[in-house]
Amino acid sequence: MNDFNTSEVKKFLSLRKKLMVAILFASSFITSLTTAFHYYFEYKKDITYLNKSLNQIGNSNSSSLTRSLWNLDDLQIQVQLDSILKVRDIVGVAVTDEDQNVFYENKKTEIEEIVSFSRTFPLFLNPDKKVNKIGELVIWSTKAHINENLISRLTVFFLSQFVKTLIVSFTMLYLFRFLVTRHLDRIVRFLRGVDLNSLNIERLSLDRPAKTVDELDYVNDSINLILRRVERANLETNEKIKRQEKEIQMQKAASINSARLASLGEMAANIAHEINNPLTVLAFSGKKIKSLSEQEEVNKDRLVHFANMINRTIDRMCKTINSLKTLARDAEDDVYEMVNIYDIIERVLDLCQISIAQKGVEITTEFNDLPKSFYIRCKEVQITQVIINLINNSTDAIKNLSEPWIKIDVKERNGNICFSIIDCGSGIPEDIQSRVFEPFFTTKDIGEGTGLGLSISAKSAKNHNGSLLIDNECKNTTIRLEFPLGC
Ligand SMILES: Nc1ncnc2c1ncn2[C@@H]1O[C@H](COP(=O)(O)OP(=O)(O)OP(=O)(O)O)[C@@H](O)[C@H]1O
Ligand SMILES: [Mg+2]
């Protein structure tokens, strides 16, 4: 009904799912980026703070340490350095003399093992002028606390960002579903179900609040507009098809009529020929009667003989003309009547014997012991037309063979009457057998055959609740008309 080709070749993934993946991806990326920036700035801040503290410690202790070093007061130096070492992040302290010899050193652990860096503060006797350097104060510090602190703070920051992202994403998805996708689902369901061939196509209605309009309302209106046009096109096509069907019917009727008239024309020529002979007989008999009556002694027997000849000839002519009249008309509306089987065949022969004989074809009949008083119920004209059609086909098929013959075989079988028209041909080729009953199928040259003979005949057989079929069991071409005796 509808072609949703895209969904047939590609896997369906709803907009909602696509949006969910996109939002999650984008928000995770943004969260990671903000966390990274946050980490960078916090780290910078902590390092600056640590440097400031170290400077403060170094500067505030250097004058007293200078004094203690000048006085070589070991104890004072040791107490002062140990108190510096107690400060967090400081992992080692040392005082060296002006020749870089370590005067006193104290480290919390092996400095190399922890991430550390050192700061050196020169010890001047005259710090204001920065002259008379007598040694250096070295402080080792670590960033381990900064890193630990930062990681725990960042974990909290990242988790809170992540939860926020999830809440925002699902809220957005819900809103998207509420505002967009449920309406899109409705549109898809509607389009899948709509019958585009109908003359009264259902319209789409999204049932949305009517205060404002948005894109979906435009889509709704556009779809309905298209459906209206499709509906109108369907109506027009429907009317066009009806018109064409009517035209085809009329053309068919005209063709059938012309086919009948064509065979009628062929027959008329035969009839004219047949009437011509009796006319000669009539003219001859008339002349004879006239000359006999002019004789002095009228030979009565001869007169009666020629008078009888005239009567017989006129009878025969009347019969032929009557047969022609009945055959020429449309027998569709005829009523069923009881007809003698021998009479039917006689009338058939009346109409076609001469033309058959002219083509050199011998025709015989076989009644298979059917009694002379055998009557069947049928539309006589239709049955006559069918048999003549079959005889004409046979004549056309075999006229060029040597010693051509046709046999009309009539028999009763299982309550059916069977008329078999057998000719000396060797059967209808198998590849065309299924088509010979189609209207307008012919193997004859253009203008020689309409291809309607067998299709009209098959219709007449069907009218009699019977059938017209090719009997392939017979070695010669055989077409059989068969219908129930009491049809
Ligand atoms: N007895 C036969 N022997 C061989 N072929 C036949 C015979 N009867 C019919 N056919 C084949 O069937 C075709 C269709 O026959 P049909 O009577 O329908 O049309 P037609 O004879 O060709 O034309 P029309 O009946 O208008 O003269 C013929 O063209 C012929 O090929
Ligand atoms: Mg024919």
Spell out the domain ranges in the chain.
15-168, 334-487
pLDDT surpasses 80 at 266: no
Give the rounded percent of residues in the chain with a pLDDT score beyond 70: 90
Picking from 72-76, 220-224, 337-341, 418-422, which range would have the lowest pLDDT averaged per residue? 72-76
Euclidean distance between CA atoms 137 and 436, whole angstroms: 121
Give the rounded percent of residues in the chain with a pLDDT score beyond 90: 37
Q: What are the tens digits of pLDDT across the range 117-157? A: 888 999 998 877 777 888 999 998 888 888 888 888 888 88
Distance 455 CA to ligand 1 centre (A): 10
Q: What pLDDT is stored for residue 9 in this prediction? A: 62
Picking from 53-62, 292-301, 399-408, which range would have the lowest pLDDT averaged per residue? 292-301
pLDDT surpasses 50 at 461: yes
For ligand 1, atom 20, the nearest C-alpha belongs to 451
Q: What pLDDT is stored for residue 264 in this prediction? A: 61
Picking from 96-100, 270-274, 353-357, 464-468, which range would have the lowest pLDDT averaged per residue? 270-274
Distance 366 CA to ligand 2 centre (A): 23
Record the pTM.
Answer: 0.47
Higher-confidence residue of 161 and 481: namely 481
Report the candidate in 407, 347, 423, 356 with the shortest Cα–Cα distance to residue 378.
Answer: 347
Distance 67 CA to ligand 2 centre (A): 141
Q: What pLDDT is stored for residue 271 in this prediction? A: 61
Q: What pLDDT is stored for residue 423 in this prediction? A: 97
427 lines ligand 1 (CB under 6 A): no
451 lines ligand 1 (CB under 6 A): yes
Distance 337 CA to ligand 1 centre (A): 29
443 lines ligand 1 (CB under 6 A): yes
Query: Average pLDDT in the 398-416 region?
Result: 94
Euclidean distance between CA atoms 485 and 134, whole angstroms: 147
pLDDT grade for 270, boundaries at 50, 70 and 90: low
Euclidean distance between CA atoms 8 and 192, whole angstroms: 13
Mutate-to-test residue for ligand 1 from 361, 435, 454, highest number of ligand atoms within 8 A of CB? 454
393 lines ligand 1 (CB under 6 A): yes
Query: Average pLDDT in the 399-424 region?
Result: 95
pLDDT surpasses 60 at 12: yes
Mutate-to-test residue for ligand 1 from 420, 442, 452, highest number of ligand atoms within 8 A of CB? 442
Q: What pLDDT is stored for residue 339 in this prediction? A: 95
pLDDT grade for 259, boundaries at 50, 70 and 90: low
Q: What pLDDT is stored for residue 157 in this prediction? A: 83
Query: Average pLDDT in the 413-441 region?
Result: 92
Q: What pLDDT is stored for residue 319 in this prediction? A: 66
Higher-confidence residue of 23 and 52: namely 52
pLDDT surpasses 80 at 336: yes
Q: What pLDDT is stored for residue 214 in this prediction? A: 87
pLDDT surpasses 60 at 244: yes
390 lines ligand 1 (CB under 6 A): no
**Whether the domain at 15-168 and the domain at 334-487 fall into the same CATH topology:** no
Three state DSSP letters for the chain: CCCCHHHHHCCCCCHHHHHHHHHHHHHHHHHHHHHHHHHHHHHHHHHHHHHHHHHHHHHHHHHHHHHHHHCCCHHHHHHHHHHHHCCCCEEEEEEEECCCCEEEEEECCCHHHCCEEEEEEEEEEECCCCEEEEEEEEEEEECHHHHHHHHHHHHHHHHHHHHHHHHHHHHHHHHHHHHHHHHHHHHHHHHHHCCCCCCCCCCCCCCCCCCCCCHHHHHHHHHHHHHHHHHHHHHHHHHHHHHHHHHHHHHHHHHHHHHHHHHHHHHHHHHHHHHHHHHHHHHHHHHHHHHHHHCCCCCHHHHHHHHHHHHHHHHHHHHHHHHHHHHHCCHHHCCCEEEEHHHHHHHHHHHHHHHHHHCCCEEEEECCCCCCCCEEEECHHHHHHHHHHHHHHHHHHHCCCCCCEEEEEEEEECCEEEEEEEECCCCCCHHHHCCCCCCCCCCCCCCCCCCCHHHHHHHHHHHCCCEEEECCCCCCEEEEEEEECCC
Distance 328 CA to ligand 1 centre (A): 20
pLDDT surpasses 50 at 1: no
Euclidean distance between CA atoms 96 and 136, whole angstroms: 5
Q: What pLDDT is stored for residue 114 in this prediction? A: 61
Give the best-scoring range by mean pLDDT among 113-117, 298-302, 324-328, 447-451: 298-302
Nearest atom in ligand 1 to the alpha carbon of residue 450 is 26
Q: What pLDDT is stored for residue 103 in this prediction? A: 85
Higher-confidence residue of 420 and 43: namely 420
122 lines ligand 1 (CB under 6 A): no
Nearest atom in ligand 1 to the alpha carbon of residue 393 is 8
pLDDT grade for 2, boundaries at 50, 70 and 90: very low
Give the pairing type, strands 416-423 and 477-484: antiparallel
For ligand 1, atom 25, the nearest C-alpha belongs to 453
pLDDT surpasses 60 at 441: yes
442 lines ligand 1 (CB under 6 A): yes
Query: Average pLDDT in the 271-289 region?
Result: 80
**What rounded mean pLDDT belongs to the chain?**
86
| 15-168 belongs to CATH 3.30.450 | yes
449 lines ligand 1 (CB under 6 A): yes
Q: What pLDDT is stored for residue 340 in this prediction? A: 96
pLDDT surpasses 80 at 440: no
194 lines ligand 1 (CB under 6 A): no
96 lines ligand 1 (CB under 6 A): no
Query: Average pLDDT in the 90-99 region?
Result: 89
Distance 379 CA to ligand 2 centre (A): 20
For residue 139, the one-letter residue type is I
Query: Average pLDDT in the 407-422 region?
Result: 96
Its CATH class, for the domain covering 334-487, is alpha beta
Q: What pLDDT is stored for residue 274 in this prediction? A: 61
Query: Average pLDDT in the 295-313 region?
Result: 86
